[in-house]
Amino acid sequence: MDSSSTSGRKGGGLLLSPPPAAVVVAVAVLLSAAEAATEEPCYPRLFSFGDSLTDTGNFAFIYGNDSREPALRPPYGETFFHRATGRFSDGRLVVDFIADALGLPFVRPYLSGRTAGDFACGANFAVGGATALSPAFFRARGVPMADIVHLDMEMKWFRDLLKLLCPGDLAGCTGMMNQSLFLVGEIGGNDYNLPLLSGVSITKIRSFTPSVIAKISSTITELIGLGAKTLVVPGNLPIGCVPNYLMIFKSGKKEDYEPETGCLRWMNEFSQYHNKLLIDELEKLRKLHPDVAIIYADYYGAAMEVFLSPEQFGIEDPLTACCGGGGPYGVSGTARCGYGEYKVCDDPQKFGSWDGFHPSEAAYKAIAIGLLRGSYTQPSFATTTNSCPQITELSSSVEYKVLYDLTAELFYTEWLLPKMVSSTSGGGAGLLSPPAVVLAVAVVLSAAAAAAQALAAPCYLRVFSFGDSLADTGNLWPPYGETFFHRATGRCSDGRLIIDFIGLSPPAVVLAVAVVLSAAASRALAAPCYPRVFCFGDSLTDTGNIAFLYGNDSRRPSLWPPYGETFLHRATGRSSNGRLIIDFIAEAMGLPFVRPYWGGQTAGNFASGANFAVGGATALSPEFFRERGVPMDDDTVHLDMEMEWFRDLLGMLCTGGDMDGCKGMMNQSLFLVGEIGGNDYNLPLMSGMSIEKIRNFTPSVIAKISSIITELIGLGAKTLVVPGNIPIGCIPMYLMQFESDKKEDYEPKIGCLRWMNEFSQYHNKLLVDELENLRKLHPDVTIIYADYYGAAMEVFLSPERFGIEDPLVACCGGRGPYGVSASVRCGYGEYKVCDDPAKYASWDGFHPSEAAYKGIAIGLLQGSYTQPPIVSITNSCPQIIGLGIENPLAACCGGGGPYGVSETARCGHGEYKVCDDPQLYGSWDGYHPSEAVFKAIAIGLLRGSYTQAPLACPQIPELGSSVEYKRERMASSTSGRRGAAAVVLAAVAVLLSASQALAAPCYPRVFSFGDSLTDTGNIAFLYGNDSRRPTLWPPYGETFFHRATGRASNGRLIIDFIADALGLPFVRPYWSGRTAGDFAHGANFAVGGATALSPDFYRERGVHVRDTVHLDMEMNWFRDLLGLLCPDDLAGIYVRLLNSFSFHAPCHL
């Protein structure tokens, strides 16, 4: 045999691997395309009504190939869908961006579906040209009108759909209605457009508006009566900026135009009149229905952002149509887009209007951004939908196109072309390696994946099958199932059956490939929304600087236990028992805890930012206080010092001292400026100064904070979070020191000192006013006020929500009603520590507990205690996730009792019960941790200080929020397409090689030993369907894998997280493989119930045990595997072991 035909030999045919960049790009395309279809939506359905601004295709089903309507043909739809869909634009509409941001597929046009399953995610009833009022209304007023669709018709379609979704029981639809999002509009524009184009005066048209508003109101009222709880009601666009109107109503009078935009003033004033009436009506409806969220969507304001600052959105011609005739506005009386001698611009993304009447996709996207991320919803859509982690960055079709083109170019120029040259020149056989297959598949499917949301639903949504073993998908032992599933599934074959192959569909294939690629490469692609966080402040934010500055100062007990006992299990310098607000913010955004500035030495130490906060720091300098008679130590850190440290750090981070080169880093970083100022009041207060005199310091404190913000902005900061003061009247030390006999000195609901809380509010009021001034001075900068006061008050008003029992009592300190005393403090003197700090809001009498800090963080990240809402500003952050475990000592699955277990029932056996959310529980089944705890432990090992020595591997940056896994499991759980899951399983062997093209793992293999804490499936192969082992059956595995895999938990184990962080697939159970290729990435020898010692050891000591697996057996299997991997090659064995990572788990049941 010619050596050139044998791969892997010198001079042989190349097993080509594509360039890593190409794989990255291909993965990015597929990841972006599959994202919306795989996120779990906050609203499972979206129903929309309206006209051409919202119609996603109904017009096409009503009017078919009507030659009078060019929107049914190209060039409509060219930008995103690459075909005409019936949308009146070059691409997506506002409703598409909303659906995408909420994690839903594009909303199906009502007239395109037939069955209830077709509308599993909602329906769109909007039709191009629709009016709010019926044609009869207009005809009665002398306005000619064809028989067109109107709002009553759309509502009738909706009622018909309800009968389909809830046959014979409309009341049964209430739950669905409660959970759905309704978009009622934009509607009413054509009630004005059609008369206006018919020559009706604007004065007469104005008289129609109350009737239009009344019709919208009656529709909203009917929807509420049917059970709707969340409705978004858009206003009218600024019609004076519509190119066709600018052409038709062109004026020689300068005063007819708005000077800032060039839009027709009188027409925009009409739009505002409509919107004013609509807003007033919605306010009335809110009062009538206080339990319903009615959100006004300010399309006018959001659109005006485009006309006032088009460059923000990459738009160059906001008042010119991309597609149409000639003229200054890109339109003419003789040609229109798709009709006559029209012309199309080269780049629709640079135009505000698509066809002279309808916005371009770029403009629609800008409006959607204003609604989802800005201030153009009342109340704020982001706060109303703050359970939506899916409100993410809104991708542009240009980004899709660039990614696709770049992928294709890389594929051709860097891989295919050289291969073709090599083959034609006799350089080899041209065999394709798995990475090459990955890229080929990615290139072929990327265009399809980019439009995955628009793919038509499968012909049949469900398959029901009957028969015998030829169709039974559910033989019980290996080697059945070895070929495809690598485990016995109950199928009487080595792999799939006919029914499995029937279940595959092209959309499922596209989605499956995208899911696999996203899981394989997401770590190399997904970055935190802010790559760095820089923070300033005092002890509420200090994560360790105090330890480096003051060392073993006995006056600072926060440097010693019991500080830090809850989470970090050591004193870190944090003035609490565990994490602070900044820790929760960093964790929720996918960043490591922010390193104290004094804890680093090199630029690399601050790759994720730095914390300059120091316990005891003030905003103002010691000189300020001394001049006013307040004693102050010289070594007290103040805000100017922290800012000086920051400038020093910039000198280190900006190579060659080029501060301008740091602008990009500053632009992309998040700055937390505070909380600071509390000690400017605490120290004088504790020195006996009156609150009236201290109040005089506040303007100076605010001025100092303002000057620091201004300096940071000057250096390039674009996003700053500025916290206010906490309610100091609720601090136990102050409650003790300023105890009063006067009832009026206390707030009745919570028992906090009223006058002290009023002082905090005074500080916060001045800060809020100053931030508003700064926003006006720097409109391109996001300055977020973090309402620590309001978020903390949630803890004091409703402590039970946070698991807190004693909000005004210190966990660690002295005695007395508030858990503090004058002679004893936490860590100093004869102090005492409570049994469970999680039940206390205060840790040491001055500083909040971790539980309270977490409560405040939740209020900021998920609630309404930031202005503007941080959820809307950081909506490109999929990492903002739920914070923490609520039931650490209770089992999710088991019997009853305080610990969720009983002697008569166990998980999967007897009359057991399963909790609603396993992520809130520390234990899964009473013996084994939940996936949430396994993940927390893995984070501690991979990111924390719980390995000796630390693992050194470039792929261990974060475990993140498992967004990639959520996408993967949602792809199978929400779509219900078993074919997609089958494709994922079938493709894993080929596609996982993509991860090595992205970043080679530090360890190419993992070999693991242990028991049920590490067993990823061996128990299933050894013990099969043993009824005594419920881990082989549901509900085990329900959270992540959605099937029992043999893992003794609801989802992944520590070994799974480690493998994932190392860039490897999950470690294959030893008993599931047969060939050397099966173990290319290592093997897991752990078995549930395994012991370290043999059964003989116990029997000799009078302990009766069964013949169980033990560590010597696992080691024998490993030696057998080595013989398979490296036959007769001891040197090869040695090399493989040197390059492998071994994981030995502790032995537990």
Q: Which residues of 360-377 are buried (b: 16+ CB within 10 A; e: fewer)?
A: bbbbbbbbbbbbbbbbbb
The one catalytic residue among 51, 55, 90, 355 = 355
- Which DSSP string corresponds to 235-276? ----GGG-HHHHHHT--S-GGGB-TTT--BHHHHHHHHHHHH
Query: Range with the lowest mean pLDDT among 10-24, 913-927, 1017-1031, 1094-1108?
Result: 10-24
- Better-scored residue on pLDDT, 447 or 764: 764
In this prediction, residue 885 carries a pLDDT of: 65
pLDDT at 1141: 57
Annotate 1065-1103 with DSSP letters as a single string: PPPPBGGG--SGGGGTTEEE---TT-BSS-HHHHHTTT-
Q: Is residue 402 over pLDDT 80?
A: no
pLDDT of residue 1003: 86
| Res 741 pLDDT > 60 | yes
**Choice between 528 and 1074, residue whose per-residue pLDDT is larger:** 1074
Mean pLDDT value across residues 323-334: 90
In contact, 878 and 392? CB cutoff 8 Å: yes
Mean pLDDT, rounded, for 1103-1117: 93
1029 has a pLDDT exceeding 50: yes
- Which residue in 274, 358, 928, 1081 is the catalytic one? 358
**Does the pLDDT of residue 1132 top 60, yes or no?**
no
In angstroms, rounded to a whole number, what is the distance separating the alpha carbons of residues 735 and 744? 14
pLDDT of residue 1142: 57
Residues 6+ apart with CB under 8 A from 1031: 908, 1012, 1019, 1044, 1046, 1047, 1048, 1088
Q: How confident is the model at residue 1090 (pLDDT cuts 50, 70, 90)?
A: very high
* 358 catalytically annotated: yes
Which token pair is 585? 């913010």
User: What is the phi-psi region of residue 644: left when phi exceeds 0, alpha when psi lies from -120 to 50, beta otherwise?
Assistant: alpha
Between strands 719-723 and 670-673, the pairing is parallel
pLDDT tops 80 at residue 291 = yes
Distances (CA, A) of 985 to 1014, 1049, 1127: 22, 21, 29
What confidence score (pLDDT) does residue 1086 get? 96
Cβ-based burial of 421 (10 A; exposed 0-12, middle 13-18, buried ≥19): exposed
Residue 468 to residue 445: CA distance in whole angstroms: 37
Q: Where are the beta strands (DSSP E) in 410-564?
A: 533-536
Per DSSP, the residues of 533-547 read EEEE-STTT-SSHHH
- β-sheet bridge partners, residue 536: 673
Of residues 955, 933, 931, 932, the one with CA closest to residue 943 = 955
**Strand-pair partners of 840:** 806
Confidence of residue 520 (pLDDT cuts 50, 70, 90): very low
CA distance 246 to 257: 10
11 compared with 869, residue with greater pLDDT: 869
The full set of domains in the chain, from first to last, is 15-24+399-523 (no CATH), 26-30+44-385 (3.40.50.1110), 533-543+579-802+849-873 (3.40.50), 887-960+1001-1144 (no CATH)
**pLDDT by residue (tens digit) across 174-233?**
889 999 999 999 999 999 999 999 999 999 999 999 999 999 999 999 999 999 999 999
- Choose, from 17, 48, 52, 558, the residue flagged as catalytic: 52
CA contacts within 13 A on the Cβ side of 129? 15
Q: Is 1104 a catalytic residue?
A: no
3-state helix, strand, coil in the chain (%, to 5): 45, 10, 45
The pLDDT tens digits for 228-260 are: 999 999 999 999 999 999 999 999 999 999 999
Check residue 628 and report its DSSP letter.
T
The rounded mean pLDDT for the chain is 80
Residue 494 or residue 977, greater confidence: 494
Looking at the predicted structure, is the pLDDT value of residue 487 above 80?
no
Question: Sheet harboring 46-49: ordered strands across?
Answer: 122-124, 46-49, 181-184, 230-234, 293-297, 377-378
Which of 479-493, 752-766, 918-932 has the least mean pLDDT? Answer: 479-493
Asked if 160 and 154 count as a contact pair (C-beta separation under 8 A), the reply is no
What pLDDT is attached to residue 1143?
A: 58
Residue 11's pLDDT is: 32
pLDDT-based confidence at residue 280 (cuts at 50, 70, 90): very high
State how far Cα 510 lies from the chain centre: 23
Q: Is residue 989's pLDDT more than 90?
A: no
Average the pLDDT over 381-401 and give the result: 49
What's the pLDDT score for residue 584? 92
43 vs 187, higher pLDDT: 187
Of the ranges 38-52, 264-278, 580-594, which one carries the lowest mean pLDDT score?
38-52
Tokens of 21: 């960049």
Return the pLDDT at 1148.
37
Confidence of residue 362 (pLDDT cuts 50, 70, 90): very high
Per-residue pLDDT at 976 exceeds 80: no
pLDDT of residue 281 exceeding 90, the answer is yes
Predicted local confidence at residue 815, as pLDDT: 82
pLDDT at 432 over 50: no
Residue range 61-70: mean pLDDT, rounded: 68
Task: Considering only residues 927 and 976, tell me which one the structure prediction assigns the higher pLDDT.
Answer: 927
Least confidently predicted of 19-28, 604-613, 651-660: 19-28
Is residue 459 over pLDDT 60? Answer: no
Percent with pLDDT over 70 in the chain:
73
Highest mean pLDDT among 165-179, 450-464, 522-536, 1083-1097: 1083-1097
Of 29, 30, 23, 28, the closest CA to residue 999 belongs to 23
Does 1064 or 995 have the greater pLDDT score? 1064
531 exposure class (CB count in 10 Å sphere: 0-12, 13-18, 19+): middle
pLDDT of res. 468: 60
At 1133 the pLDDT is 52
**What pLDDT score does 975 carry?**
37
Question: pLDDT-derived band of residue 460, with 50, 70 and 90 as boundaries?
Answer: very low
The model's pLDDT over 869-908, given as tens digits with 9 standing for 90+, comes to 875 565 445 444 445 566 788 999 998 788 989 888 889 8
Residue 803 pLDDT greater than 80, yes or no: yes
Maximal C-alpha separation, the chain: 107
Question: Which of these ranges, 64-78, 579-593, 594-608, 999-1013, has the smallest mean pLDDT?
Answer: 64-78
pLDDT in tens, 806-831: 999 999 998 889 999 988 889 888 89
**Contact of 1034 with 1046, CB cutoff 8 Å:** no
Do residues 246 and 264 lie in contact, with contact meaning Cβ atoms separated by under 8 Å? yes
pLDDT of residue 960: 36
Rounded distance, CA 558 to CA 537, Å? 16
Q: What is the pLDDT of residue 938?
A: 84
Which pLDDT score is estimated for 657? 59
- Residue 408: pLDDT over 60: no
The more confident residue out of 360 and 462 is: 360
Report how far apart the first and last C-alpha atoms of the chain are (Å, whole number).
Answer: 55
Predicted confidence (pLDDT) per residue in 1067-1078, tens digit: 999 998 888 888
Give yes or no for residue 1126 having a pLDDT over 50: yes
Is 52 marked active-site? yes
